[in-house]
Chain A
Amino acid sequence: MISIMSKLNGYLLVKILRNSDLANQLDLKQWDLVIRQARRADLLPQLYYDLNKKGILKALPQEAFCHLESAYHLSVAHQQAVRWEVNRIQSALRKLEVPVTLLKGAAYVLADLPCANGRLFSDVDILVPKVVLDEAEQSLMAHGWMSVDTDPYDQRYYRQWMHELPPLRHVKRQTSLDVHHSILPETARWHPDAKKLLQAVKPLEGYERLYVLSPVDMVLHSATHLFSEGEIDHGLRDLYDLDALLRDFGKQNDFWELLYERAREMDLTRPLYYALRYTQYFLETPVPESSGKRVTGQPVRALRYLMDLLFQRALNPDHPSCNDAFTGIARWLLYLRGHYLRMPLYLLLPHLVRKSMRRNEV
């Protein structure tokens, strides 16, 4: 794999996430950069947990330590808030009598997975069967969640084409909620079956009618989300999640077998391929050797080469110190790719034209 990781300071945060012992060797100038990169990546609290686990937190220079400590306090508050938010959602949807599946961060926290440590939140994501989507929305509205965006075009766009309702916000708590009925739009390049996801969900112990995706589906969803998204805001944080999920679930005997099999069944071998490739590249995630051949999502060499050029840049924190001359172009191309993967051109082009016209109006 071609590497741009030799760049001295651009990969400081990545290097420390790989090997936290390096934290002992940083001077203050380097700490200045690490803190800024980690803040931009939304990974400051995770860094606190990583260094604490290694027992080197107390040895850090006070200047750096206080930012990590502050981020730690913030993340504890976020997790408490997410638990409360889930409690409210559960209560709002109680009458529906259908399984409510937590996705992403909220699932990691409620299921007490290792990658929950330090995770910050901007919203909660849930998955419900498509048949109850309208009812779910009505119940949520009755309990204070409203659509943020009232523009009729956006509303129609979401409802017709997207795999989720237009984002909701709670009128009192100002918290955001995304209600999904699938993990990709139906028009997308890849076609995972939401019914199969729902059939495999695991109940959350101690919570009535609350579920999380099965371990393999959780990994596949995280991979699909990151590698089909056009705007990669927290690429490294999402890789960090994937890395933690793979390290944790990877201890189970049959996990890797199941993962590859499920990726084929769900038409998600390509995002899984990228997930494994770039978690290994950035975070040295252990992936069993023997399993290498089984990932069938490998693109042809030229595409692989191009994707390396793009993802090696765009997955790094969006901070000037991590950018080179091509980062801007890489992010822009991935933005186009995200849209292109989402829907066919005959739908996409009118949508983008419409959006760009509206941006000019504002």
Chain B
Amino acid sequence: MKISDLSKAELCSRLKKGKFCISVGPFSFCIDSHIEEVIEGLGDLYADYELRDHGFADFHISLTRPKGIRRWLHPQVLFLFDGKTPFKPLPFSQALPMMEWGMNWCIANHMHHYLILHAAVVEKNGQAVIMPGNPGAGKSTLCAALVSRGWRLFSDELALMDIDEGTLIPVTRPVSLKNESISVIQTFSPNAHLGKSYADTTKGTVAHMRPPKLSVEHAGHSAKPRWIIAPQYNKEISSKLDTESMAKMFMNLAENAFNYHIHGPRGFDVLGKLVEDCDCYTYTYNDLDKAIDEFEQLVQISSHH
């Protein structure tokens, strides 16, 4: 059964009883919350996700109001991972962004059987692009644009590598868009479904794009990495693709990885092989249509070979 098959009342009741479990790529989250914002957000952004009932969940999370007098003066929200609070509370209105950040944290901090890089990943024809980038570089925006034009969404934040196979594993989740990119994506792709905007978060205004249905349905299918393209939004330059050296790309990925430091020599080997096997580029852009064309050309050239 999918989330969209649930009535609002059923959704509420499951979330309040801790009987709301979904698969997110290879992981399962059991979510518990009485907060309207969370209930609505899950019903909206996760509409195409399957409910599961295996009795096992990788992560038991909940979003609640902290107790005490503050709840009446400055309402806040807490993220709980199996009853413990890894973060300080946020303003109550930011419950949904907090859930999304919390879910990223859960994966990045507990799933060390994968090598986890800080990068967006999209796929076409079985070949995946890894897009590393610092916050603000424009990787989520480019990722949202690509997946609203038929690329398959793996993640806008977490590139999960199977260490033995060298393949990328989808953790398909809503794409988190910040500030100007919200309206940019609305204009670029009027059909994309964006959730509510949340102003004044630590990352500015945040809105989430619902992942394409096909991406959610195929989240069980891994892909071979083919390109590593570090995007950089620059309003002066419409589109510029430059080859990047393997060494530089290696360092870029290693420095921004979530758990490279945990994997020791094996992590070094896996990352080394990854940059060797992929074509590495930096990509400066300000025009999403042009960017999509460039990415399509890469795929065409590659399938001719």
Interfacial residues, chain A to chain B (CB-CB below 8 A)? 27-29, 31-32, 36, 39-40, 61, 63-64, 66-67, 69-71, 73-74, 76-77, 80, 319-320
Contact = CB atoms under 8 A, between A and B. Distances in A.
Contacts of B55: 27-29, 32
Given A70-B111, A70-B112, A77-B261, A63 B58 contact: yes
B57 interface: yes
Contacts of A71: 112
Given A66-B111, A69-B113, A77-B263, 18 more contacts: A27-B55, A28-B56, A29-B55, A29-B56, A32-B55, A32-B56, A36-B82, A40-B82, A61-B56, A63-B58, A66-B113, A67-B58, A70-B113, A71-B112, A73-B262, A76-B262, A77-B261, A80-B264
| Highest count of chain B CB atoms <10 Å: which of A29, A40, A66, A71 | A66
B221 interface: no
A74 B112 contact: yes
Nearest to A40: B82
Nearest to A73: B112
Main secondary structure of the interface of B (DSSP, over half): loop
B54 interface: yes
B54 A76 contact: no
Contacts of B54: 28, 63
A72 B60 CA distance: 21
A320 B84 CA distance: 11
B110 interface: yes
15 contacts: A29-B55, A36-B82, A39-B82, A61-B56, A63-B28, A63-B56, A66-B111, A67-B110, A69-B112, A70-B112, A73-B112, A73-B263, A74-B262, A76-B262, A76-B264
A14 to B, nearest CB: 18
A163 B224 CA distance: 56
A319 B80 CA distance: 13
Contacts of B111: 66, 70
A69 B163 CA distance: 12
A73 B56 contact: no
Main secondary structure of the interface of A (DSSP, over half): helix
Interface string B93-137: 000000000000000001111000000000000000000000000
A61 B55 CA distance: 12
| Highest count of chain A CB atoms <10 Å: which of B28, B55, B60, B261 | B55
Contacts of B68: none
B144 to A, nearest CB: 29
A179 B278 CA distance: 49
Contacts of B261: 77
Contacts, number: 48
B262 A64 contact: no
A32 B264 contact: no
Interface string B152-174: 00000000000000000000000
Nearest to B83: A320
A290 B113 CA distance: 46
Nearest to A69: B113
Interface pairs A-B: 10 shortest CB-CB: A29-B55, A28-B56, A70-B112, A77-B262, A73-B112, A69-B113, A32-B56, A28-B55, A70-B113, A63-B56
A40 to B, nearest CB: 7
Contacts of B264: 76-77, 80
A103 B208 CA distance: 49
Contacts of A70: 110-113
Interface in B215-232: none
B83 A319 contact: yes
A74 B112 CA distance: 7
B111 to A, nearest CB: 6
Given A76-B264, A319-B83, A320-B83, A31 B56 contact: yes
Contacts of B56: 28-29, 31-32, 61, 63-64
